Chains A and B, each alone.
Chain A
Amino acid sequence: MIASILLRLLYLVLFLALPPLVLGVVNRVKSVFAGRQGPPLWQLYADLWRLARKGAVYSRTTTWVFRAGPVVALAAVASAGLLMAFGGSPAAFSFGGDFVLFAYLLGLARFATVLAALDTGSSFEGMGAAREVTFSSLAEPALFLCLATLARATGSLSLTGMLGPALPDAWSHAAPALLLASIALFVVALAENARIPFDDPNTHLELTMIHEVMVLDHSGPDLALILYGASLKLFLFGALFVRLALGFPVQGLAGVGVFLAGIVGFGVLVGVVESTMARLRLVRVPQLLVGASVLSAFSLVLLLR
C-alpha cells in the first residue's frame, strides 16, 4: 500500500521534472539527422531558469486575461497529470470517466492560451488562435475514438484501468484495433503538441505558425510557464502513447525503467518524424486530422462488429 503510494509520488515527481529532457531528446535527434552537434540535452532547463528570472514586458492592449493565460494553462496541464497512469502505476486520481476530465483539462489550457493570444489584438496571434482552435477541435474526436477503443478492449472507464493490467490481454486478442488506435493517437499527439507535420516549433515566419505565434507577446516568467506547460503536455501524450503501444505488463520499479526508456523512445520517434518530414500545407492539416479520426473509428468498428 505504502509502496504503491510512494511509486505514484515518484511518478508525479518524474512528471514534473523530466518533460524538458524529452524535448532535449527530440532536439538531439534532429541535430544528429542534420549533422550538427546540437544544444545540450538540458538546454530547456537552462532556458526556463533564465526566463524565470528575467523581467517581462506587457502590451498596453492586454488585460488580466493575458496574464492569466499561461498560469491557467500550466495549472490545467499539471492537474491533468494527476489523472494519467504513468509507467506501471495507477494514477493519483482514478475514477470512471476520468479520461473526459483529462481531455477537458487540456481543453481548458488551450482555451486560456487562445484567449491570451486574442487579448493582444494582434492579427498574427489571432491567426494562430484561429488555427489552434480549428485543428484541436478536429483532433478531439480522434482522441475520444482512441479512448473508446481502449475502453471497449479493456472493459474499463478510467485511464488507470484502460492502461492497466487488462491492456496486455487486450493486445493479445485485439492487436489490429489497438495498433490502429496507437497510430491515430500518435498523430493526435503530434497535432496537440504543435509538432511537425502540423506545426513547426522552430519556424521564424509568423504567418505560418500556429502555437508559437500565439505566444509571441509573452515574455519572461510567462514564457517560462508556457514552455514548461508545453513540455508537460508532450510528456503526457508520450506517457499515454507509450503505455498504449507497449501494453505495459511491467509493474513496480522495473516499470519505471521500462517507462522511461519508452518515453525516450517516444522522443526519438518524434525527432525522427520531424527530421524526415516537411510541415504540411495548412489546408492539408484538417485532412490528416480527419484521417486520424477515420483510422480510430475503424479501430473501434473492428471491436464492435
Chain B
Amino acid sequence: MTLLLVGTGLVLTALSGSLALALRREPERAQRAACALLVAGAVLGIAGAVLAMAQGGSVGFHASWSPPGAALALRLDSLSALFLLPIFGIPAAGSVYALAYFPQGASGGRTIRVQIFYGLITASMALVVIAANALLFLAAWEVMALCGFVLVLTEHEKRETQRAAYVYLAAAHVGALALFALFSLLGSAAGSFDFDRMAGAGLAPGAALFALMLLGFGLKAGLMPLHFWLPGAHSSAPSHVSALLSGVLIKTGIYGLLRVTGFFAAPPLWWGLALLALGGASAVLGVAFALAQHDLKRLLAYHSVENIGIIAMGAGLALVGRAAGDPALVALGLAGAVLHVMNHALFKALLFLGAGAVDHACGTREIDLLGGVARAMPRTAVLFLLGAAAISGLPPLNGFVSEWLVYLGSMRALSSKASLVPWAVLAAPVLALVGGLAAACFAKVVGTVFLGTPRSEHVARHEAAPAMLAPMAALAGACAFIGLFPVALMPALRNAAAAWAATAPESLAGPGRAGIASAAAITGCAAVLVALVAALAAWRNRRARGAPASETWGCGYARPSARMQYTGSSFAEMLTLRFGWAFFPRARVKPPRGPFPKHAAFSSHVPDTVLDVALVPSIKTASWAAEHVRRLQRAQVQGQALLVGITVLGLLAWRFLWW
C-alpha cells in the first residue's frame, strides 16, 4: 500500500513536466497544470512515506528485469521513508515558487525544459532511495545526475554557467565510475546485485570499498575536497533549482553512504573516525569559504558543504557506535544525521528561495551592493531571517535539534571504554566552532542584505509575489514545527536507526526514551522562551509607543552616507583572515596616490581552493603535456616510427627484465 502510494507519486512527478509541453499553447495554464500534477504526486509520495514511518518495518516489491543481474526490486523502509519527505516536499515547494519566479508565459521553452527535468529529477531521486537492486539504483542515479546537468544548464548562454555545468557533469561521472566499481565488487562478493542479498552476505569490510564509497557518494554529497563542483553548479541555476540541488540532490550521496555502510555487519572503527574527521573538515572549511563569499547564492552553496559536513559527522558517530557496540551512540548519531538531512533541506530551500526573491526584486546577488531590502520586502525578510536562524542552529528552530543530537552523540562517545572511541568527543568543539561561524556568516548576510540602507542603485521596489512567499512560509513553518516539537519525529528517527543498524527497534528503546524525554524538555524551554519574548515585547511596546525618530548616531558626524556602512566583506574580514591558510584570495588593488587622490579601487575574490587552485591548473598542465606528446605522434612518419619503436623496446624490456 505504502509502496504503491510512493510509486504513484513517483510516476505522477515524472510525468508532470510533459503537461507543460502538451499545453504549451496556453503557457500559464500549462505551468499551473504541471505544478498541480507535481504537487499531487508529491502529496501522494509524502503520504506513503508517512504511512510507512508510522507502520515501521519495511515493504518490498520484486519483478524481473532483462539486463543480467538486474531486477526491478524496490524496498521502502524507515530510512528511505525519511529521505522521501524532502525528496517530494522541496520540489513541490519549488514548483509553486516557480509559478511567479520562472513563469512559462515569459520565458517559454526554457521553462518547459526546466519543468520536464524538474519532475524527472524528483522521480529519479525517489527511485534512488527506494531502489533495492544495484543496477536499478545506478540507472536512477545516472538519470538523476543527467537531469541535474540539464537543470544547471538552464541559463546556457552564460559562460560561467557552461563551465559550472561541465564541471558538474565531470564530477558526476567520476562519482558514477567509482560507484560502478563499488557495486561490482559488492555484487561479486555477495553473488547478487540485490541489496537484500548484499546485506545478508556478511561482506568483509575492505579499505578499497570504503575509499570507493567515499569517492562515489562523497562527490555527490560534496564532502570537502570533493565539493569543488558544488558552489558553481548551485549558484548558476535558477533559485528553485538551486533549492532542489542543494536541499535534496546532494543528500542522495548521504543516503548512498548510509545504505551501503548498512550492508556491513561490523564496520571497522576507522571508517567511523575517518568519516567523522572528513565531516569535521568539511564543516569548518565549508563555513570558512562561505564567510569569504560575496555572491549570495555561492555563499549559500558553501553552506551546503558545511551542513553536509555536520551530517557526515553524525553518520561517522553512528558508525563509531556500531564498531564500539554502543546502541545509544548509533541511535544519536544516525538520528542527528538523518534529521539534519531533513532540516537542511527545509532551511536551505527556504534560503535559496529567499535569495531568488531578492535577486528577482533587486537584480543582483552581490551582497555588498544590497542593503535595506527589509523595507520593501518585509515578509521575505522575516522568512529569510527564520531560515538564517535555523541554519545557524539557534533554538527554538529545527537546526538546533539535529545539531543537539550530534553533540549528544559525541558526548556519549566519552563514556565508551574502548580505546580511541572517546576521542570522538572532539566533534563537539568542532561543531561549536562551526555553529559560531555559521551564525557570524548569517549575521553578515541578513545584516548586509536586509538591514541598513541600500548601498547601490540595486534597490528592492516590491515585495515578492504571493506564489513565491507561500512556499517559503510553508518551509519556515516546518522549520519552526520541528524546532518546537522535536518529539514528533523521535520514533521515526529511532526506527531509521534500527533499520540502518539491522537491529530490532526494541534494542534502541532505552536511548530512544531518553531522547524523547529530552526532546520534550526542549519543547518546555522553547515555550518559556517564546512566552518571555511575547511578555517583554508587550511591555516594551507599551513603553515605547510614540517614540520619536531620528538619525543613526554617527558619533557627531552629521552627514553619514550609505557607502559608509559596514559591508559584508568588512564584516567577515576578521574571521576570514583566520582562515588565510586555506584561501588563495585574488585581490585587485588600486591605492589612492598623490596629495590629491582621485580614483582608488579595491576588489577581492576568494576562488575555490580545490577547483581553481589545485584541479584546474593540474589538469591544464596534464593536457599541455599530452598535447606535446600528441604533436610528436602527429608530426611525421619518422616520428611515429620512433614512438612505436620506443614503445616496443619498453615493453620488451619490461617483459624480460622485470616480469
Residues of A whose CB lies within 8 Å of any CB of B are: 52, 55-63, 65, 67-68, 70-72, 74-76, 78-79, 82-83, 93-98, 100-101, 103-105, 107-108, 110-111, 114-115, 118-127, 129-131, 133-134, 136-145, 147-148, 151-152, 155, 157, 206, 216-217, 220-222, 225, 286, 293, 297, 300, 304
- Which of B36-44, B247-255, B317-325, B428-436 lies at the binding interface? B428-436
Contact with A along B179-190 (1 / 0, CB 8 A): 000000000000
Would you call B392 and A118 a contact (CB within 8 A)?
no
Task: Answer yes or no: B437 CB below 8 A from chain A CBs.
Answer: yes
Q: Can you identify 13 A-B contacts, CB atoms within 8 angstroms?
A: A57-B548, A58-B548, A60-B552, A74-B532, A93-B521, A95-B517, A118-B446, A119-B452, A121-B560, A136-B436, A137-B435, A147-B428, A148-B425
Would you call A55 and B575 a contact (CB within 8 A)?
no
Other A-B pairs beyond A104-B404, A105-B395, A151-B414, 10, CB < 8 Å: A56-B547, A75-B536, A96-B514, A96-B518, A103-B432, A107-B436, A111-B439, A121-B451, A126-B566, A221-B540
List chain A residues, Cβ under 8 A from B565.
Answer: 121-123, 126
Would you call B544 and A222 a contact (CB within 8 A)?
yes
Would you call A216 and B553 a contact (CB within 8 A)?
yes
Q: Given A137-B440, A148-B411, is A65 in contact with B549 using a C-beta cutoff of 8 Å?
A: no
List chain B residues, Cβ under 8 A from A217.
Answer: 552-553
Would you call A97 and B395 a contact (CB within 8 A)?
no
Would you call A157 and B412 a contact (CB within 8 A)?
yes
From B443, B564, B578, contact of A118 by CB (8 A): B443
CA A298 – CA B529 in complex, angstroms? 35
Would you call A104 and B435 a contact (CB within 8 A)?
yes
Q: Given A52-B543, A59-B553, A63-B374, is A93 in contact with B451 using a C-beta cutoff of 8 Å?
A: no
CA A147 – CA B407 in complex, angstroms? 12
From B371, B429, B522, contact of A101 by CB (8 A): B522
From A60, A104, A115, A144, contact of B549 by CB (8 A): A60
- Residue among A74, A79, A110 with the highest chain B CB neighbour number at 10 A: A79
Would you call B400 and A104 a contact (CB within 8 A)?
yes
Residue of A with least CB distance to B371: A121
Q: Give the secondary structure class of A's interface.
A: helix
List chain B residues, Cβ under 8 A from A93.
Answer: 521, 524-525
CA A119 – CA B447 in complex, angstroms? 7
Q: Given A104-B400, A145-B429, A151-B414, is A133 in contact with B422 using a C-beta cutoff of 8 Å?
A: no
Contact with A along B343-382 (1 / 0, CB 8 A): 0000000000000000000000000000110110010010
Task: Answer yes or no: B256 CB below 8 A from chain A CBs.
Answer: no
Residue of B with least CB distance to A114: B443
Q: Given A57-B550, A97-B411, is A293 in contact with B429 using a C-beta cutoff of 8 Å?
A: yes
Would you call B524 and A137 a contact (CB within 8 A)?
no
Would you call A121 and B524 a contact (CB within 8 A)?
no
Would you call B566 and A141 a contact (CB within 8 A)?
no
Closest 4 CB pairs of A and B: A126-B566, A137-B436, A118-B447, A121-B452
Would you call B571 and A129 a contact (CB within 8 A)?
yes
- Residue among B435, B540, B560 with the highest chain A CB neighbour number at 10 A: B540
The A-contacting residues of B in range 413-463, CB under 8 angstroms, are: 414-415, 422-423, 425, 428-433, 435-437, 439-440, 442-443, 446-448, 450-453
The A-contacting residues of B in range 493-544, CB under 8 angstroms, are: 514, 517-518, 521-522, 524-525, 528-529, 532-533, 536-537, 539-540, 543-544
> Would you give the shortest CB distance from B407 to chain A, in whole angstroms?
5
Would you call A101 and B540 a contact (CB within 8 A)?
no
CA A114 – CA B372 in complex, angstroms? 16
Task: Answer yes or no: B208 CB below 8 A from chain A CBs.
Answer: no
The A-contacting residues of B in range 553-600, CB under 8 angstroms, are: 553-555, 560, 562, 564-566, 570-575, 578
Q: Given A71-B537, A221-B543, is A140 in contact with B443 using a C-beta cutoff of 8 Å?
A: no
Task: Answer yes or no: B316 CB below 8 A from chain A CBs.
Answer: no
Would you call B430 and A141 a contact (CB within 8 A)?
yes
Would you call B443 and A115 a contact (CB within 8 A)?
yes
> Would you give the shortest CB distance from B609 to chain A, in whole angstroms?
21
Would you call A304 and B540 a contact (CB within 8 A)?
no
The A-contacting residues of B in range 222-280, CB under 8 angstroms, are: none
List chain A residues, Cβ under 8 A from B393.
Answer: 104, 107
List chain A residues, Cβ under 8 A from B436.
Answer: 107, 133, 136-141
List chain B residues, Cβ under 8 A from A63.
Answer: 374-375, 378, 381, 451
- Residue among B392, B551, B552, B571 with the highest chain A CB neighbour number at 10 A: B552
> Would you give the shortest CB distance from B534 to chain A, in whole angstroms?
9
Q: Given A130-B566, A131-B574, is A57 in contact with B549 using a C-beta cutoff of 8 Å?
A: yes
From B381, B429, B554, B560, contact of A148 by CB (8 A): B429
List chain B residues, Cβ under 8 A from A52.
Answer: 543
List chain A residues, Cβ under 8 A from B440.
Answer: 133-134, 137
> Would you give the shortest CB distance from A250 to chain B, in whole angstroms?
27
Would you call B533 and A75 a contact (CB within 8 A)?
yes
> Would you give the shortest CB distance from B612 to chain A, in whole angstroms?
26
Would you call B404 and A101 a contact (CB within 8 A)?
yes
CA A125 – CA B452 in complex, angstroms? 11
> Would you give the shortest CB distance from A96 to chain B, in whole angstroms?
5
Q: Given A101-B395, A145-B429, is A126 in contact with B543 using a C-beta cutoff of 8 Å?
A: no
Residue of A with least CB distance to B392: A111
List chain B residues, Cβ under 8 A from A96.
Answer: 408, 514, 518
Task: Answer yes or no: B19 CB below 8 A from chain A CBs.
Answer: no
List chain A residues, Cβ under 8 A from B452.
Answer: 61, 118-121
Residue of B with least CB distance to A117: B447
